[in-house]
Chains A and B, each alone.
Chain A
């Protein structure tokens, strides 16, 4: 009896990986999905806590794709291991702080470990030759295969006929003629194939699932790195970069002011890790203090900014409490800062 071959697919939640899986399933291969949680995934986070985004679907697209395809999905927490990928990328960064080539290599390497552990035969991705400026170029796609150690066990079904034959093709597990030869930045072939497969609802067509490619996020991350003794980070640090308004008052002091109720509630969960400021005389935003006040002036600036984002912003005085992480609180009264007095250089 013919052996059932098995492949694991890197699932981002976008259209390309969805199509790649379907193309391989059509050849009778058993496919399961794998999704890596780096901490920088766009999924969820801000949508989950912000009312502004209440109309956005809160689904995890990778899970949704897996369910549409009828495959299992294994979500792997790689937050710790990923730090070295981000902090020391061999191939450098893209336009922002996106180490795409190192990232893809890392994920394929992790998938290779996974197939060895679970007795699967090969790996598939939704990569397309020429689709992305860094990791999906004709010159760099072989780098991913080589540096990850996956070599000819890595199949890109959407571009396979643009690339050298892989082991599954040479062994006859896959029919190369039924694989595709997509290339370039156009999305039309993917759209047509999606239609052919009957996929009508899918996430953003070109991926875009990583905060590290987002310019505003990159600015906040670089600010954090520039003002700390080490670039190392914890998961909480990188999640907080997505929350609230960030004001850099001094190299040793940043404050984060919640933008709405959902964020305030989420940030409240950090009250035992950060000093917090909140208005007591008026409804308003919660503020986390990242760093320390080295002068009364810095404390006054922070209080006046938090007062500005309260409903007392036009009042002569707002009363606020500063809460220490041990729960002790001290009350202050201050005049809210005027809009024109908020220094542009504070805004991160």
Chain B
């Protein structure tokens, strides 16, 4: 498993080695402290994250911009949607 640094969007959640639903909980907690339009990059090793984080994002109105896989890691980029901010 790679220990390389995560990529470069404005906020990061390192959910590697966490299993469902912890990657979602970490995402939820991070977004609670973010503002409209900010980007969050979540890195997970749980294949379930590919379904769950987009699902959580949809029901909470956030936009998944990209999902990619490399070296058994799943990287999901989310744009936070909080129009009331």
Of the residues A44, A70, A266, contact of B20 by C-beta under 8 Å: A44
Contact A63 B24, beta carbon cutoff 8 Å: yes
State in angstroms the CA–CA spacing of A57 and B20 once bound together: 13
Contact B25 A47, beta carbon cutoff 8 Å: no
Q: List 15 A-B contacts (CB under 8 A).
A: A44-B20, A44-B52, A49-B46, A59-B51, A60-B51, A63-B21, A71-B59, A73-B56, A73-B59, A74-B28, A75-B21, A75-B56, A76-B25, A265-B1, A265-B72
Q: Which of B41-55 contact A (CB under 8 A)?
A: 45-48, 50-52, 55
B residues within 8 A CB of A57?
A: 51
In the complex with contacts A63-B59, A66-B59, A269-B1, A75-B25 CB distance below 8 A: yes
State in angstroms the CA–CA spacing of A59 and B49 once bound together: 8
In the complex with contacts A72-B59, A73-B59, A58-B1 CB distance below 8 A: no
State in angstroms the CA–CA spacing of A47 and B17 once bound together: 14
Contact A58 B20, beta carbon cutoff 8 Å: yes
Interface string of B45-80 (1 = CB under 8 A from A): 111101110011011100000000000100000000
In the complex with contacts A58-B51, A64-B55, A77-B1 CB distance below 8 A: no
Asked if A22 is at the interface (CB within 8 A of a chain B CB), the reply is no
Contact B48 A48, beta carbon cutoff 8 Å: yes
State in angstroms the CA–CA spacing of A153 and B51 once bound together: 34
A residues within 8 A CB of B59?
A: 63, 66-67, 70-73
Contact B55 A48, beta carbon cutoff 8 Å: no
- Chain B's interface size range is 20 to 34
In the complex with contacts A37-B25, A44-B19, A48-B20, A60-B55 CB distance below 8 A: yes
State in angstroms the CA–CA spacing of A266 and B21 once bound together: 16
Contact B46 A44, beta carbon cutoff 8 Å: yes
Asked if A342 is at the interface (CB within 8 A of a chain B CB), the reply is no
B residues within 8 A CB of A72?
A: 59-60
Contact A43 B20, beta carbon cutoff 8 Å: yes
Q: Which of B1-56 contact A (CB under 8 A)?
A: 1, 16-17, 19-22, 24-25, 28, 45-48, 50-52, 55-56
Interface string of A58-101 (1 = CB under 8 A from B): 11101110110011111111000000000000000000000000
A residues within 8 A CB of B60?
A: 72
Contact A268 B55, beta carbon cutoff 8 Å: no
Contact B1 A239, beta carbon cutoff 8 Å: no
Closest to B23 in A: A44
Contact B48 A58, beta carbon cutoff 8 Å: yes
A residues within 8 A CB of B28?
A: 74-75
State in angstroms the CA–CA spacing of A47 and B52 once bound together: 14
Contact B22 A266, beta carbon cutoff 8 Å: no
State in angstroms the CA–CA spacing of A77 and B19 once bound together: 13
Contact B48 A44, beta carbon cutoff 8 Å: yes
Most B C-beta atoms less than 10 A away, residue of A60, A66, A77: A60
Contact B25 A60, beta carbon cutoff 8 Å: no
In the complex with contacts A44-B46, A265-B72, A60-B21 CB distance below 8 A: yes
State in angstroms the CA–CA spacing of A214 and B28 once bound together: 29
Of the residues A35, A44, A67, contact of B55 by C-beta under 8 Å: A67
